[in-house]
Amino acid sequence: MSSNETLSMAIGTYGCTAAIKDGSIPVAGVNIKQVEVSPIIAAFRRMVRDLEFDICELAPTTYVIAKAAGVPITALPIFLSRRFHHSGFEVREDAGIDDPKDLEGKTVGVRAYSVTTGVWTRGILMNEYGVDNDRINWVVDDEEHVTSLKLPANVSHAPAGKSLAGMMASGEIQAGFASRAGIGRTGAPTAGWEAANQELPRYRELFEKAGELEAAWYRKTGVYPVHGCIVVRDDVLRRYPSLAGSLYEAFEAAKQDWLAKLEAGTPDVLDRTKYADIVRFVGRDPLPNGLAANRATIQTLVDYAWQQKLIPRRLPIEELFLDVNKAHAA
């Protein structure tokens, strides 16, 4: 690659990306123009719909759906955020939901059906607790990133003028996701659903001691849910065959820089508290990159997406993710 080439990149600002975004760790052989998009979710839509960026962060489920639909992008096994999914799913106290199977026949809210948080949680409910997802009435109040996606028959849009937060508060839906995946929390409802100054009721987490369940599930399965990956336009990868390896090396170096600061106790490091509990059972590196370390996780996400009727077939891992070691050697 010529050092004069400039490629656009849209990624979120995290501890593991800070050194990429401030330019202290460059991408070998290319200049990077950082494009700030806030919230970063807006970049996801612009990438899968218009291929607006050369390099972009993308929600992994959005990527799998887009790839299955023929969008000409390819992911690198670089993962920018992760978390587990027994926590963050809330139920109304009066809904008669005492265990996961009680969700069958109920109406449940999620921002968009293909949002990665929803896919991971539904997969756990289905595969670990025997929940029949087809018997849950899912309500969404946002558009799917990949516009060609056909939603399953048990998914409907919230009525005009209604939000998931309001429907949860009124009892029209009985369960939903906290934070940006769903209903919002008391005092900090998610923008777009309810006015920021409106008080919403608190709800009960479906899973008590969710942290313990998450650690046990990880030890049992080896699956560590991913939430952000790096994708590159296919035409860019064809023009610059060494780019994938250069990106991998840069992002790995930026992550190691972040980990070193965490271990040194450097103050004000981004995401310090986010992974504090997780590293106790996943190990020192809470954001492992590469195919070898992530095959079980990637395969599980593909299986979940297929089970939930988001993709027409189980795409092979090699079709989804570029083997950066081979690409770098080419």
User: What pLDDT sits at residue 194?
Assistant: 37
In this structure, are 156 and 96 located in the same domain?
A: yes
CA 139 from centroid of its chain's CA atoms = 19
Domain presence at residue 185:
yes
In this structure, are 318 and 210 located in the same domain?
A: no
Mean pLDDT across 225-254: 97
Confidence of residue 128 (pLDDT cuts 50, 70, 90): very high
* More confident site: 38 or 324: 38
Those residues with Cβ within 8 angstroms of residue 249's Cβ, 6 or more apart along the chain or in another chain: 28, 328
Q: What is the pLDDT of residues 8-34, one digit of tens each?
A: 999 999 999 999 999 999 999 999 999
Is the pTM for the entire model greater than 0.75? yes
User: Which among 265, 286, 288, 256 has a CA at the least distance from the CA of 18?
Assistant: 256
User: What pLDDT sits at residue 178?
Assistant: 81
In this structure, are 133 and 65 located in the same domain?
A: no
224/249 Cα distance (integer angstroms): 22
Mean pLDDT across 210-217: 96
Give the gyration radius of the chain's Cα atoms. 20
User: What pLDDT sits at residue 267?
Assistant: 87
In this structure, are 305 and 197 located in the same domain?
A: no
Identify the domain containing residue 297 by its residue range: 6-84+224-329
Choose one of 216, 247, 269: the last residue of a domain.
Answer: 216
In this structure, are 186 and 163 located in the same domain?
A: yes
Choose one of 190, 216, 242: the last residue of a domain.
Answer: 216
With contact defined as beta carbons under 8 Å apart, do 254 and 247 qualify? no
CATH number of the domain residue 312 falls in:
3.40.190.10
Choose one of 158, 182, 216: the last residue of a domain.
Answer: 216
Domain presence at residue 1:
no
Q: What is the pLDDT of residues 103-119, one digit of tens each?
A: 999 999 999 999 999 99
Sign of CA dihedral 70, 75, 79, 80: negative
Those residues with Cβ within 8 angstroms of residue 176's Cβ, 6 or more apart along the chain or in another chain: 89, 90, 108, 109, 110, 164, 168, 182, 183
Mean pLDDT across 40-45: 96
Number of domains composing the chain: 2
Average per-residue pLDDT in the chain? 91
Cα-based distances in Å from 84 to 105, 215, 222: 25, 9, 12
User: What pLDDT sits at residue 198?
Assistant: 47
In this structure, are 319 and 236 located in the same domain?
A: yes
Confidence of residue 284 (pLDDT cuts 50, 70, 90): very high
CATH number of the domain residue 143 falls in:
3.40.190
Confidence of residue 55 (pLDDT cuts 50, 70, 90): very high
Q: What is the pLDDT of residues 174-210, one digit of tens each?
A: 999 986 456 654 333 333 333 333 455 678 999 999 9
Q: In terms of DSSP bridges, do strands 175-177 and 55-58 run parallel, antiparallel, or are they unpaired?
A: unpaired
